[in-house]
Amino acid sequence: MKRREFVGAVTAASTLAAAGAARAAAAPAVQTRDRRAELRSDWDLIVIGAGTAGMPAAIFAAEAGARVLVIERSPVVGGTLDRSTGQISASRTVFQQAKGIVDSPDEHYADNMRINDWTADAALTRLFVDEAPDTVNWLAANGFQVIEGDPVKSKGHDPFTIARYQNGSEGGKSILAVMKPLFDAAVKAGKISLKLETGAVDLVQDSAGAVVGVVSEGASGQREESFGRKVLIASGGCAANARMFEDLHGVPLTAEIAYPWSQGQGLTLALAAGGVLRGGDKYVPLYGTLLESDNFPSASLSGILC
């Protein structure tokens, strides 16, 4: 799989999916620098967040010879992979081939759009279905294991017409088990520089408005500027930030079961740099239950999932 293709898919998967977010949080003051700073580039790529999107982006960029800096607010890498289902839909995968399932990106696209009542972003959906096969097959080639009997047409979601849901045998941990050794090896080899317990607090922009760096803050409170040719915000959403969640979605956060570091800092940074959050109006909820406590799974939810 080509680095460009994978990073493109990761970037699409990390698209900020919310609307009307001007009130989300008090935006940090984005830093601007003079021409000398504009010409400075310590890194080819600075990745904010070492989770589902940030880790593979860093891995593939490093493999291509890029100088990569990864900034992660939590003490460990992996993001939500330690608690997600690890479910990936894709066509033309080795898991489908093993069961004699014939599928294609075109059929995957048609199914996705049908399930979403044609409200999904067509361009992003097309990018996703085209890159999903190589993504899953890359994971499989590096040891990704799925639940026995997978792929399936449906599991906790509206059914596809063709079995293409691949669920990690240990949920998202199955994906983490593939990516973390590759990521750790790149860090050990000096191809990736990793800063844990370090959060991005500001973006640095040049006189034209382009983002050319990141201001980060470590556990000690000391701030540091890093400059890069490209900056990727891969820090996830705001499911652990009750105020921002309600501001973005218009409903209160009734239970706190999300990854504790999902505070929406990346969304705030993007807004401050002139970005726009979009896509929240395209969300189609699935069947389920309203969580009224932090107990998960609740008895009622377990009944739905079983």
pLDDT digits (tens, 9 = 90+) for 268-298: 999 999 999 988 776 666 655 565 665 655 5
Residue with the bigger pLDDT between 195 and 32: it is: 195
Q: Tally the domains of the chain.
A: 1
Residue 153 included in any domain: no
Residue with the bigger pLDDT between 13 and 168: it is: 168
Asked which of 58-67, 80-89, 259-268, 282-291 is least confident by mean pLDDT, the reply is 282-291
Residue with the bigger pLDDT between 253 and 288: it is: 253
Residue 111 included in any domain: no
Q: What is the CATH number of the domain that holds 72?
A: 3.50.50.60
Residue 139 included in any domain: no
Name residue 226's beta-bridge partners: 214
Q: What is the mean pLDDT of residues 43-67?
A: 98
Residue 177 included in any domain: yes
Alpha-carbon distance of 264 to 244, in angstroms, equals 7
pLDDT digits (tens, 9 = 90+) for 157-175: 789 999 999 999 999 999 9
Alpha-carbon distance of 296 to 46, in angstroms, equals 35
Residue 5 in tokens: 């293709």
Listed residue (59, 76, 43, 51) closest to 3, CA to CA: 59
The pLDDT score that the predictor gives to residue 295 is: 60
Give the pLDDT band of residue 156 (cuts 50, 70, 90): confident
Residues 6+ apart with CB under 8 A from 266: 16, 48, 49, 200, 233, 234, 235, 236
Residue 200 included in any domain: yes
DSSP letter assigned to residue 149:
T
Asked which of 129-133, 256-260, 261-265 is least confident by mean pLDDT, the reply is 256-260
Alpha-carbon distance of 297 to 208, in angstroms, equals 49
**Residue indicated by tokens 């990854």:** 259
Residue 171, helix vs strand vs coil: strand
Backbone phi and psi for residue 175, each to the nearest 5 degrees, phi listed first: -75, -40
Q: In the predicted model, is pLDDT for residue 141 greater than 60?
A: yes
Residue 222 in tokens: 């000391």
Residue 80 in tokens: 């939500």
Share of the chain above pLDDT 70, in %: 79
Predicted structure pTM score? 0.82
Residue 75 included in any domain: yes
Residue 270 in tokens: 């993007």
Alpha-carbon distance of 57 to 8, in angstroms, equals 9
Residue 95 included in any domain: no
**64: domain range?**
3-83+171-282
Residue 116 included in any domain: no
Residues 6+ apart with CB under 8 A from 61: 3, 7, 44, 45, 47, 68
Range list of β-strands (E), the chain: 31-32, 43-48, 68-71, 87-89, 165-167, 169-171, 192-195, 199-205, 211-217, 223-233
Please state, rounded to an integer, the average pLDDT across all residues of the chain.
84
